[in-house]
A and B are shown apart, each in its own frame.
Chain A
Amino acid sequence: MMLEHILVLSAYLFSIGIYGLITSRNMVRALMCLELILNAVNINFVTFSDFFDSRQLKGNIFSIFVIAIAAAEAAIGSAIVSSIYRNRKSTRINQSTLLNK
């Protein structure tokens, strides 16, 4: 019962992240929703590693790799958003039409 509860929670976070990623008009909010999706994946990794593989803990190691990739993604994303903001004075997604010139 505990395992299904945690998996339903992770699925909820994943679908909330997908919804926010599609409908947000602000680039920084899209980055936040991407972090939500990665956290849902991490919850699944840690939970399955705790329930099924409590001797070897390979799910924990994969979740550490996912956390490192998320850190790199947040740094690159913030740099790209600040560069777009410097050029266009706006961080809205539907106004970043840099190729349309």
Chain B
Amino acid sequence: MDLPGPIHDFLLVFLESGLILLGGLGVVLLTNPIYSAFSLGLVLVCISLFYILSNSHFVAAAQLLIYVGAINVLILFAVMFMNGSEYYKDFNLWTIGNGLTSLVCTSILVLLITTILDTSWYGIILTTRSNQIIEQDLISNSQQIGIHLATDFFLPFEFISIILLVALIGAIAVARQ
């Protein structure tokens, strides 16, 4: 999205980073699963706004419709359907496994951050920008995604539809009984 000033852009990105960081911690660390499901919804909405900032309006709409509208509601339904008093028994159970896992995950995060900061991304950007043909096309991003789905990615698109049909039938058959 073309915002007027870079200050506005930075402000939005930092706000979303704060919300995503706090929400991601809330999904894992909150004791009540209903609070954690709402925190997941907050994270998904912030990620959708973030896609709007990075010029991907179709993916933002798909994220908002499918993740927030379908998956998060399904998870909330599962939490409320299997509500019990067993959630509150073991909330401060800090075992040795949790500490070991947090150590491993922190080391993974530090390794990824050092790798990201060591890579020279702008050389890659310059080489790819120079290879692209400078042509002025008037179609929008959504039209381009539609053209790719109908021509290049036609077979994976049909496979995705078959997978969704099979998954819905299987979910109903497992949950019915």
> Could you tell me which A residues sit within 8 Å of B by CB distance?
2-9, 11-20, 22-26, 28-29, 31-33, 35-36, 39, 42-43, 46-47, 49-58, 60-61, 63-65, 67-76, 78-83, 85-86, 90-92
Given contacts A63-B56, A82-B175, A91-B84, 12 further A-B contacts (CB under 8 A): A5-B13, A13-B20, A15-B108, A19-B102, A32-B27, A42-B63, A52-B128, A64-B58, A71-B164, A79-B170, A82-B82, A86-B177
Nearest CB of chain B from residue A54's CB, rounded to whole Å: 7
Interface of A, helix, strand, loop or mixed by DSSP: helix
B128 touches A53 (CB 8 A): yes
User: Are A78 and B75 also in contact (CB < 8 A) when A13-B20, A50-B55 are?
Assistant: yes
The interface residues of chain A lying within 8 Å CB-to-CB of B86 are 90, 92
A75 to B63, CA, bound (A): 16
A5 touches B79 (CB 8 A): no
Interface size of B in residues (CB-CB distance below 8 Å): 75
A15 touches B105 (CB 8 A): yes
Using CB atoms, name the residue of chain A closest to B165. A72
The interface residues of chain B lying within 8 Å CB-to-CB of A6 are 54
User: Would you list 5 pairs from A and B whose C-beta atoms are within 8 A, ordered by A residue?
Assistant: A8-B112, A32-B40, A43-B50, A52-B124, A82-B82
User: Are A8 and B71 also in contact (CB < 8 A) when A43-B47, A64-B59 are?
Assistant: no
Q: Which of B13, B43, B144 contacts A2 (CB 8 A)?
A: B13
Using CB atoms, name the residue of chain A closest to B78. A78
A20 to B55, CA, bound (A): 31
Q: Does B15 contact A (CB under 8 A)?
A: no
The interface residues of chain B lying within 8 Å CB-to-CB of A4 are 116-117, 121
A54 to B128, CA, bound (A): 10
User: Are A13 and B24 also in contact (CB < 8 A) when A35-B40, A43-B47 are?
Assistant: yes
Using CB atoms, name the residue of chain A closest to B54. A50
Contact flags B128-161 to A (C-beta < 8 A → 1, else 0): 1000110000000100110011000100100010
